[in-house]
Amino acid sequence: MSLDKATVAQVARLARIKIGDADLEPMAGELGNILTWIEQLGEVDTDGVAPMTSVVETRLARRPDEVTDGDCADEVLANAPERADNFFVVPKVVE
């Protein structure tokens, strides 16, 4: 795929990259080569290939979902400067 200098200048402006006029033509060639390579990747047959997130098959370590601690609100709130029932009392921030 070939790109002209105007397209490269537009892409550079959108990406907020300063490219001098002398560098537009070589950049157009480089971007054209990259886009051609991407088009070649689209031609690869990937039917039957599962999507992957890693080249090594791994599984996440799991643990049982059990409550191991709790029912200790009085201990948690023991050092609170102010409390109401089982909640911390904090100053109002939003008017």
Could you read off the pLDDT of 32-78 as tens digits, one per residue?
A: 999 999 999 989 998 988 888 888 888 888 988 887 777 888 888 99
Q: Total domain count for the chain?
A: 1
For residue 67, the model assigns a pLDDT of: 79
pLDDT for 1 beyond 80? no
Under DSSP, is residue 67 helix (H, G, I), strand (E, B) or coil?
A: coil
38 lies in some domain: yes
- For residues 8 and 28, is the Cβ–Cβ distance under 8 A? yes
63 lies in some domain: no
19 lies in some domain: yes
pLDDT confidence tier of residue 3, bands split at 50, 70 and 90: confident
pLDDT for 6 beyond 90? yes
21 lies in some domain: yes
Domain that holds residue 25: 5-42
25 lies in some domain: yes
Confirm whether pTM is higher than 0.75. Answer: no
